[in-house]
Amino acid sequence: MAFLSTISLLNCKAQNQNNMKNQIEEAVTSIEKAAANRDTKQLTELLHKDYRVIANRFKGSENSVIISKETYLQMMKDKKIGGTSYDINFNDIKISGHTAIVDVLYSSEATSDMHKFLVLIQDENNEWKIVSDIPIVIE
Domains of the chain: 2-138 (3.10.450.50)
97's CB contacts (< 8 A; 6+ apart) are none
Q: What is the pLDDT of residue 94?
A: 97
Asked whether the beta carbons of 113 and 138 are under 8 A apart, the reply is yes
One-letter identity of residue 120: L
Q: What is the pLDDT of residue 15?
A: 61
Rg of the chain's alpha carbons, rounded to an integer? 17
Strands 87-96 and 99-107: antiparallel
Q: What is the four-CA torsion angle of 59, 103, 75, 57, rounded to 10 degrees?
A: -30
Q: What is the pLDDT of residue 1?
A: 55
The number of C-alpha atoms within 13 Å of 9 and in the hemisphere containing its C-beta is 6
Q: Which residues of the chain have pLDDT under 50?
A: 4, 9-10
Q: What is the pLDDT of residue 138?
A: 81
pTM: 0.84
Q: What is the pLDDT of residue 14?
A: 58
Q: What is the pLDDT of residue 38?
A: 97
Asked whether the beta carbons of 68 and 78 are under 8 A apart, the reply is no
Q: What is the pLDDT of residue 4?
A: 46
